[in-house]
């Protein structure tokens, strides 16, 4: 497909379990972002990957959250020992190399529900 | 600190014009984006402003005043399908291209 692909689209899990969310960016997009969207809140930045540079992890809310990007393409966001407050929609976006005005293209997100 | 303010909800009539305002206070500024998000779907890019003034794209226009920390999105000839959330986002610049988002404005278009 031509767009950003995320899987799974929905995930329900018990508190304390680990979850892994996947993002397939648009081919050729070297920049990849993860955001979180909670009910009634704006999108919250989590982490940014750009090419081979060290990722910007400044938005990760705790050390239970981690992300990696293998081969400059697919990325996985891992949440360990999930808590109820982790329930949200996790959105991935990608863009071409940073130039002024380069928009980020979003996937449909993974809706995560922690019971 | 970082603060981006938008009205929470707006209602408008099919065929009319609506203006959605966004004010921002951020530590840096390197462009402002507007996105449209239908319920349960991905945000989709609408417009980008980095210089003061008006950018027009068909039925959608976006305006920016950097000195006032203010932007608006103008939607003309409203259609029912324009019912969605409209997200204002500022790129602070620096090493990261991350966007700082407002909470979004939920627009309801009525017949």
Whether residue A72 has pLDDT greater than 80:
no
* Residue partners of A49: CB distance under 8 A and separation at least 6: A31, A32, A33, A55, A67, A69, A75
Instruction: Quote the minimal CA–CA distance from B53 to chain A in Å.
Output: 15
pLDDT of residue A39: 83
Which pLDDT tens digit goes with each residue over B42-87?
999 999 999 999 999 999 999 999 999 999 999 999 999 999 999 9
According to the model, what pLDDT value does residue A71 have? 80
Instruction: Check CB contact of B79 with chain A, cutoff 8 Å.
Output: no
Taking CA–CA distances from B86, the nearest residue in chain A reads A42
Name every chain B residue with its beta carbon within 8 A of the beta carbon of A50.
97
Q: How confident is the model at residue A98 (pLDDT cuts 50, 70, 90)?
A: low
Contact list, B31 vs chain A (CB under 8 Å): 100-101
Query: Which of residues A2 and B54 earns the better pLDDT score?
Result: B54
Q: Coil, strand, or helix at residue A53?
A: coil
Of B33, B50, B95, the CB nearest to A103: B33
Burial class (CB in 10 A: 0-12, 13-18, 19+), B100: buried
Whether residue B53 has a cis bond before it, omega within 30° of 0: no
With a cut of 60, say whether residue B35 has pLDDT above it.
yes
pLDDT band at A99 (very low <50, low <70, confident <90, very high): low
What confidence score (pLDDT) does residue A52 get?
Answer: 82
Q: The tokens of B107 are what?
A: 């627009």
Q: What is the mean pLDDT of residues B22-32?
A: 92
CB A79 within 8 A of CB A22: no
Q: Are B71 and B62 in contact (CB under 8 A)?
A: yes
Q: pLDDT tens for residues A21-69?
A: 999 999 989 899 999 999 878 899 999 998 888 899 999 999 999 999 9
- Among A59, A91, A103, the residue with its CB nearest the CB of B45 is A103
In this prediction, residue A2 carries a pLDDT of: 79
Distance from CA of A72 to the nearest CA of B (A): 17
Q: Would you place residue B27 in the very low, low, confident or very high pLDDT band (cuts 50, 70, 90)?
A: confident
A100 pLDDT more than 70: no
Partner-chain residue, chosen from B31, B95, B103, that has the shortest CB–CB distance to A56: B95
Q: Is A42 on the interface with B (CB under 8 A)?
A: yes
Task: Give the pLDDT score at B106.
Answer: 97
Q: What is the mean pLDDT of residues B7-30?
A: 95
């Amino acid at each position: 497909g031509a767009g950003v692909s995320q899987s799974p689209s929905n995930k329900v899990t018990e508190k304390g379990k680990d979850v892994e969310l996947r993002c397939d960016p648009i081919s050729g997009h070297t920049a990849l972002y993860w955001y979180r969207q909670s009910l009634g809140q704006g999108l919250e930045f989590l982490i940014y990957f750009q090419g081979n540079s060290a990722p910007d992890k400044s938005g990760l809310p705790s050390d239970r959250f981690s992300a990696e990007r293998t081969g400059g393409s697919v990325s996985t966001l891992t949440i360990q020992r999930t808590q109820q407050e982790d329930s949200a929609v996790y959105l991935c976006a990608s863009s071409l190399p940073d130039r002024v005005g380069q928009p980020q293209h979003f996937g449909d997100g993974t809706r995560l529900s922690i019971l | 600190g970082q603060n981006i303010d938008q009205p929470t909800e707006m209602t408008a009539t099919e065929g009319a014009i609506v203006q959605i305002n966004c004010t921002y206070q951020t530590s840096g500024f390197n462009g402002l984006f507007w996105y449209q998000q239908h319920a349960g779907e991905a945000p989709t890019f609408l417009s980008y402003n980095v210089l003061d003034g008006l950018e027009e794209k068909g039925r959608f226009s976006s305006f920016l005043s950097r000195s006032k920390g203010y932007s608006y999105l103008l939607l003309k000839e409203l259609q029912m399908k324009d019912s969605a959330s409209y997200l204002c986002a500022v790129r602070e610049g620096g090493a990261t291209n991350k966007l700082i988002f407002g909470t979004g404005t939920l627009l309801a278009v009525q017949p």
